[in-house]
Amino acid sequence: MTWDPTHLPDLRGRVYAVTGATAGIGYFAAEQLAGAGAEVVLASRSAAKIVVAADTLRHHVPDAVTRGITVDLASLDSVAAAADELAALPRLDGILLNGGPMELSSRSKTADGLPLLLGAHTVANVALLAQLLPALASGAAARDSVARIVHTSTGFVGRFPTDASDLSVTPRIGVHAYTKAKTVTEIFAFELDRRLRAAQVPVASIVSRPGVGVDARTPQRAGIRDSTVPYRRNPYTPWAQGKDAAAWSGVRALVDPAATGGQYYAPQEGMRGAPIAVEPYPHTAHPDPDLASRLWRELEALARTSFAL
């Protein structure tokens, strides 16, 4: 179907949660959803930043309806509390898992002693989804619809194929540790979709990647992209897009009526462009079944949870 990311379907009555919603791609995803009429749950580590993001969003979308939930993805206790709040909402149609610290250090740890990048970008989302899935599924079944889970990845997964077979090993170079975390995220996301389908659960697991979003091309937003926020230079700026456009892939995966579980959305030109469905990477979408099953069990153990699938 023809998709215009600047004119989304009517989302009035829908409710979507976005993690990392107080900055960059997460904020613009929330603004785009609200602009189409959806109620948006802004999830972030900082309660103060949630207030700023909500005020800025309402300035640009005056009739926007928002809620705020604080969640520190580097703490499984915080994730569990946030999952309880999300599960208690009267309605939740989907969640965009965009949040996660971008401290590219292989030595940093979460509050639970896990490598920061794997713990916050992957394990935390496993814990969140295991606790939230029953509410997502029951709500979708009651509405005769399909809820969406959208995982955010990176093109590094395709550019730098990484051995994800041993979660106890953290690459010493930060970008490699980040790539490994996102590789594991993709394997988990596709395995989750296979299990949801097998169990006939009305929830779709979809992967997206934003391309490259840079500050230099990002529209001004008070407290989000202005003089009060540190400016980050990026050598890819001539070939990149703003963080508003970088949000398009995740938003399409979340709300396109034609999207289905197991799909992968990314910018048409790789680093930038309109969001389209692309072929997923074979090593994450179709790994050895034994590897996928083992990683699933290990992630459940690290997340101190289990899925009813």
4 falls within a domain? no
Question: What is the mean predicted confidence (pLDDT) over 79-84?
Answer: 98
| pLDDT for res 33 | 98
Q: Which residues are within 8 A (CB) of 230 and not within 5 positions of it... i.e. 6 or more apart?
A: none
Least confident interval from 94-103, 150-159, 180-189: 94-103
Structural domain count, the chain: 1
Summarised one tens digit per residue, pLDDT across range 252-270 is: 999 999 999 999 999 999 9
Query: Rg of the chain over CA atoms, in angstroms?
Result: 18
8: in domain: no
Looking at residue 105, what is its pLDDT?
75
Give the pLDDT confidence of 204-253 residue by residue, as tens digits: 999 999 999 999 999 999 999 999 999 999 998 999 999 999 999 999 99
| Residue 208 token pair | 């997206």
Q: Which domain holds residue 82?
A: 15-303
In a domain, 9, yes or no: no
Residue 1 is assigned to a structural domain of this protein = no
For residue 164, give the DSSP letter.
-
pLDDT at residue 84 above 90?
A: yes
N-terminal to C-terminal alpha carbon distance within the chain: 32
- Is residue 277 included in any domain, yes or no? yes
pLDDT tier, 308 (very low <50, low <70, confident <90, very high otherwise): confident
pLDDT tens column, 41-77? 999 999 999 999 999 999 999 999 999 999 999 999 9
Model pLDDT, residue 102: 84
CATH of the domain at 26: 3.40.50.720
- Rounded-to-integer distance, Cα 163 and Cα 184, Å: 9
Query: Average pLDDT, whole number, for the chain?
Result: 96
Cα distance between residue 249 and residue 210, in whole Å: 6
Confirm whether 10 is domain-assigned. Answer: no
- Whether 114 has a pLDDT exceeding 70, the answer reads yes
Asked whether residue 2 is assigned to any structural domain, the reply reads no
Q: Tell me: pLDDT of 106 over 90.
A: no
Is 187 a member of any domain? yes
pLDDT in tens, 15-45: 999 999 999 999 999 999 999 999 999 999 9
